[in-house]
Amino acid sequence: MTPKLVFVAAVARNGVIGAEERTPWRLKSDLQRFRELTWGKPLLMGRRTFESIGRPLPGRETVALSRDSDFRPEGAHLARSLEEALGLATRLADSMKSPEIIVAGGAQIYSAFLPLADVIHLTEVELTIAGDALFPTLDPAEWRETARETPRRTAEDEADFHYLRLERK
């Protein structure tokens, strides 16, 4: 069975997902949700996202995609092309018995894999913030919202937010 390609992303009102290679807000609740959504699954991400995290995340297998010939992601799998990354992540999903491959950013990776995505777990962050990385624009003719939740903001969350599940029509 082919695993579903699932995006997990947090996006500000104006589409920003990053600023200067980091997340421009702190939402501890969303980090916990990210862990729940991705645990036991292969994560596919770009080099800059991998470097911003600084290490492979426990309980997951990371595929880092980069054309930089000097990049060697310690503890992660390396792919040099979109096709290689998807093939490697598919084999990892099979070996992990995971029904999903998680695409975890950044902007170029989301844009490249958007035509293949099946599901998007989107955290809408109630901020308009400056940034240099944007989530791709979604065509409403291609996506439908199938779930929405507004969790209670905690003291460790810097903004209000909503969790959405979008599925390809």
Q: What does the pLDDT look like over 94-123, one tens digit per residue?
A: 999 999 999 999 999 999 999 999 999 999
Count CA within 13 A, CB hemisphere, residue 67.
5
pLDDT in tens, 151-161: 999 999 999 99
Nearest CA-CA partner of 82 in 137, 121, 44, 135? 44
pTM listed for this prediction: 0.96
Q: Domains in the chain, start-ordered, CATH in brackets? A: 4-168 (3.40.430.10)
Tell me which H or E stretch contains 31: helix 28-38
Q: How confident is the model at residue 1 (pLDDT cuts 50, 70, 90)?
A: confident
Nearest CA-CA partner of 125 in 162, 157, 150? 162
Residue 84 has pLDDT above 90, yes or no: yes
Q: Which of 5-9, 18-22, 83-87, 124-128 has the lowest mean pLDDT?
A: 18-22
